[in-house]
Structure 1
Amino acid sequence: METGSSSNSGRGSGRPDTAATLRVRVEDSVFMVDRAMLVRGCDYFRALFRSGMRECRQEEVHLRGLRVRGFLIVLAVLRGDRPTLSDDQIVDAVECAAFLQVGALARHLADLINSDNCLLLCQAAAVYGLLELYLSAALFIRDMHEDLQEAAESLLWESRQYVQSLTPSSFVAVGTYSPSMEILQDSFRTLCYLDEGEKDWKHLTDLPTEASTSMAGLAVLSNKLYIVGGVRDVSKQVVESCFCYDAMANKWTTFNGPRQLRYNFTLVGHEGRLYAIGGEYEKTAMSSVEMYDVATGNWSFVHHAPRPVADAACAKAMSRIFVCFWKPKETTDIYEYVPGRDEWSLVTTLIRPHSYGHCMVAHRDNLYVMRNGPYADFLRCLMDCYNITTGQWTAMPGHYVNSKGALFTAVVRGDSAFTVNRMLTLEYAIGTGGWKPRREMKGFPRSGSVWTFFLRLPKTRAHPKQREALDSNGQDDANDPNPA
């Protein structure tokens, strides 16, 4: 991994020292590192250089107790790389992230959490005091409790208790609904959650009467459901008010809609912001994109999408936003939107026969793209997998029948993908050889299109077995530290 100039002799790289360059000694190696990069990315160096003490004027800093391998990872992440890490590298990286207070590395480690390394990351984060990483790993373990229960016994007692104190995510669904009078008690206005113990759907809450899920944008951010836009009826009059559901408080609030009225658009939540991508207005597709800052409550325009797009498939993998753009007839471009740089970049192109319908979900560093087809065979759902690390496409073996899978509503939790339609809720186990059916449960009790997502619900909504495990730890709902 080429991340910096080093010299085992301790004499540096041969380049002249400047005020912009700092020599950093780690073990027996010396690295010539851009001083500004360290100040931007490391709270440790920022505090050092702004302290006014003698050390801030030194040409060389000796980092004692850290390993070269961990510091190389720090430099790689500060330069924008997203390295994959072995178990040994993970421990060194956690140590460096904690000692040097590198927020970007801590976030990258959280993106790497999977069923193979979640226990190691949880334990290492606990030892070195990376609390946000500790929470992220513990939540992942809690969501995969059945699969990891035996392995989780290797955690320290305090970590096992912490994991058990957290609330697991629940599969939630809502049908397509347009505003109507409250006295009609429209059943399509109901949000339901899946009780996995009883394998059945139960009432969670009702949409506000003025909310619409018809051609709306729905996204979950920090365990809150946001509903933006939507239409009232066949005239496609846009609903201007937006709605937010706080799952833990079981409370609805409203907020202002985007500056540009839109429907049939894609809404995605990322790092405290919502992004409304494309959509239509007055039957015209748009390329404009707006960002809603939850902290300030303001909408603002960001860089336009590469071309007009409506109802685009979107997924987040490794905290990166990917969007599908169709090119008739058989080409799909996948673009990445990079919020930090406010730019779009073409990642890859898929050329496959397909008819209608399109869904994309992420698992680890894989994007799974589902489509109907080919052509008249609309009951057969085909799948391709794109790995964002290697840049390789793989056609997944077999096919998935829509009448028993509803893959166009798939959402991922841990190593499982949950799909639902009126007939059946089906959980798939995601593996390298394809998706394998794992559990069958009752279908969603509404007809038509369905929106699905995960929310962490209060203990009172949990399955009795889950409540028993949670209550044994004596933790209050109000103190439940689970920002999904």
Structure 2
Amino acid sequence: MDIVKVRVGDSVFEAKKSLLLRDCEYFRALYRSGMVECHQDEIHLKNLPAQGFFIMLAVASGERPILNGGEILEAIECAAFFQAETLAKHLQDLLNSDNCLLMYQASTTYGLWGLQEMSAQFIQNMYRDLREQLKNLPQELIEHVESQVPSTFVAVGSHSTCSAEELPLAATRTVCYLDEDDQDWKVLTALPKEASTSLAGVTVLDNRLYIVGGVHGVDKRAVESSFCYDVITDTWSLLPGPRQPRYNFTLIGLEGCLYAIGGESERTTMSSVEIYNVTKKNWSFAAHLPRPVAGVACTKTMSRIFVCLWKPMETNEIYEYMSHQDTWVLISKLLKHQSYVHCMVAHRDNLYVIRNGPKDDFLRCLMDCYNITTGQWTSMPGHYGNSKGALFTAVVRADSVFTVNRTDTLEHTIAGNMWKPRNQMKGFPRNGSVWTFLLRIPKERKN
């Protein structure tokens, strides 16, 4: 029988045994042991919060509840006691500026070490905002936060491959990082001569930079190789390219995999999607997008991938990739006349869709916010382009969002339904398209 009764305090839960075995090391060990408890009609668990167990079952069943402070504490206790992998991952997805200190302290207390490390990293990225609150923590916890390497805003321009004869002249083929103390851009590394960032897929996964595909030559010949940069060792390595050579596609990394979404091949727009497993070092095809698309706006949040597809002349559709079912599911539509989405970024459970204005003001970027929990749209006040062009790239770090062009690098604070200007720094000194992302750069690597 697959149904098990579990008594937690005064509450009795009926749960699927298969679910408990899949998600909880505690129950796997219990049923392997052959102890008398696993043969009883009801399993008794003392001194555990019933609400935490209820949350654990909900998350194991596929729900993604937003939790308040008390619920977080009970969920952390249960995640640690039951060694519940899915619940622990969900708590990591919920980490934000409102709960990071609570999660940091509670995960330390209960020994949920993965969440502790992520919380410490998050706090380090918000150190200047949380400095005063950190003083209330034990000294060893403060020191652990201060030992973390913060995430740095990094950019690379659009460059084609480079011949050996051209290499000495290719001084601009560099990946640069923003020194926020000096408010200026500095060189992190040079691109391999065989690598192209022109119409390539560029992303970061597990603090490594990946450059996949792209083009070289005026005839847009696809680059078949891929490259990985390890910022810790300051080395580049060569990876296999996708099975279908492609360019002008979107690359995003999540949970040990790279997703190459859409793009072009031999001047034909594609709907195909490929996944690169970093551990297995191989590419495989995934479910196709609903229709062919190139340069699609895409983002990830809470371990979920979203793309925004455009239907001329007024419909923008947001799809989510369901990895367990290997399918793309339509979750919402945004109807704006003659409005095309330039880019999309995520903060908490909000997707920020940045689009052009009316046809007579194409460079005037407007923004709409879609909350994936409530399913509600909100039009945000103001506009986010400038006289130098539309906003095509943005990166979120904690509660800040960075945008950049040749003139300015701007940091905004995400507050309510506003992006409020916070800091203005030097623009990125390169022509053409710019790829932006975050890397944790060791202090000794910085000039």
* TM-score tier after normalising by the smaller chain length: over 0.9
Which string of whole-angstrom CA distances, capped at 9 and with x for unpartnered residues, describes residues 365-398 of structure 1?
Answer: 0000001221121231100000001000000011
Alpha-carbon distance between aligned partners in 2 of 1:22 and 1:405, rounded to the nearest angstrom? 60
For residue 188 of structure 1, give the secondary structure of its aligned residue in structure 2.
coil
| Structure 1 position 216 matched with structure 2 position 196 | no
1:451 pairs with one of 418, 435, 443:
435
Map 1:70-469; keep pairs closer than 5 Å: 70-182=52-164, 183-354=167-338, 358-403=342-387, 407-462=391-446
Aligned residue identity for 1:121: M
For residue 149 of structure 1, give the secondary structure of its aligned residue in structure 2.
helix
Checking the alignment, whether the CA contact within 8 Å between 1:405 and 1:420 is kept in structure 2 is no
Checking the alignment, whether the CA contact within 8 Å between 2:363 and 2:390 is kept in structure 1 is no
Aligned-residue identity in percent: 61
Alpha-carbon distance between aligned partners in 1 of 2:393 and 2:170, rounded to the nearest angstrom? 22
Unpaired runs of 5+ in structure 1?
1-18, 464-484
Aligned residue identity for 2:375: G
Alpha-carbon distance between aligned partners in 2 of 1:337 and 1:293, rounded to the nearest angstrom? 16
Checking the alignment, whether the CA contact within 8 Å between 1:215 and 1:231 is kept in structure 2 is yes
Which string of whole-angstrom CA distances, capped at 9 and with x for unpartnered residues, describes residues 149-190 of structure 1?
Answer: 111112222211111001001110000000122434323311
Which string of whole-angstrom CA distances, capped at 9 and with x for unpartnered residues, describes residues 378-437 of structure 1?
Answer: 231100000001000000011123346863211000111001110000001111131111
For residue 288 of structure 2, give the secondary structure of its aligned residue in structure 1.
coil
Checking the alignment, whether the CA contact within 8 Å between 1:406 and 1:421 is kept in structure 2 is no
Unpaired runs of 5+ in structure 2?
none
Checking the alignment, whether the CA contact within 8 Å between 1:24 and 1:33 is kept in structure 2 is yes
Alpha-carbon distance between aligned partners in 2 of 1:241 and 1:405, rounded to the nearest angstrom? 32
Checking the alignment, whether the CA contact within 8 Å between 2:152 and 2:438 is kept in structure 1 is yes
Offset, 1:54: 2.5
Task: Look up the match of 1:477.
Answer: none
Which string of whole-angstrom CA distances, capped at 9 and with x for unpartnered residues, describes residues 211-262 of structure 1?
Answer: 0011110110000000100000221101111000001111100010011111
Offset, 1:120: 0.2
Alpha-carbon distance between aligned partners in 1 of 2:152 and 2:169, rounded to the nearest angstrom? 25
Alpha-carbon distance between aligned partners in 2 of 1:414 and 1:403, rounded to the nearest angstrom? 28
Alpha-carbon distance between aligned partners in 2 of 1:404 and 1:52, rounded to the nearest angstrom? 69
Alpha-carbon distance between aligned partners in 2 of 1:407 and 1:313, rounded to the nearest angstrom? 12
For residue 424 of structure 2, give the secondary structure of its aligned residue in structure 1.
strand
Checking the alignment, whether the CA contact within 8 Å between 1:405 and 1:425 is kept in structure 2 is no
Offset, 1:343: 1.5
Offset, 1:288: 1.0
Alpha-carbon distance between aligned partners in 1 of 2:78 and 2:439, rounded to the nearest angstrom? 33
TM-score for the superposition, normalised by structure 1: 0.90
Alpha-carbon distance between aligned partners in 2 of 1:291 and 1:403, rounded to the nearest angstrom? 38
Aligned residue identity for 2:97: S
Offset, 1:462: 4.6
Aligned residue identity for 1:217: G
Task: Give the aligned CA root-mean-square deviation in angstroms.
Answer: 1.3
Checking the alignment, whether the CA contact within 8 Å between 2:316 and 2:340 is kept in structure 1 is no
Checking the alignment, whether the CA contact within 8 Å between 1:423 and 1:442 is kept in structure 2 is yes
Task: Look up the match of 2:46.
Answer: 64
Task: Look up the match of 1:480.
Answer: none
For residue 332 of structure 2, give the secondary structure of its aligned residue in structure 1.
strand
Alpha-carbon distance between aligned partners in 1 of 2:255 and 2:309, rounded to the nearest angstrom? 23
TM-score for the superposition, normalised by structure 2: 0.97
Structure 1 pair 237–151 and aligned structure 2 pair: CA distance change class (3 A): same
Alpha-carbon distance between aligned partners in 2 of 1:292 and 1:355, rounded to the nearest angstrom? 33
Offset, 1:317: 1.5
For residue 221 of structure 2, give the secondary structure of its aligned residue in structure 1.
coil
Alpha-carbon distance between aligned partners in 1 of 2:64 and 2:276, rounded to the nearest angstrom? 27
Report the number of matched residues.
Answer: 445
Checking the alignment, whether the CA contact within 8 Å between 1:174 and 1:188 is kept in structure 2 is no
For residue 72 of structure 2, give the secondary structure of its aligned residue in structure 1.
helix
Alpha-carbon distance between aligned partners in 2 of 1:93 and 1:158, rounded to the nearest angstrom? 24
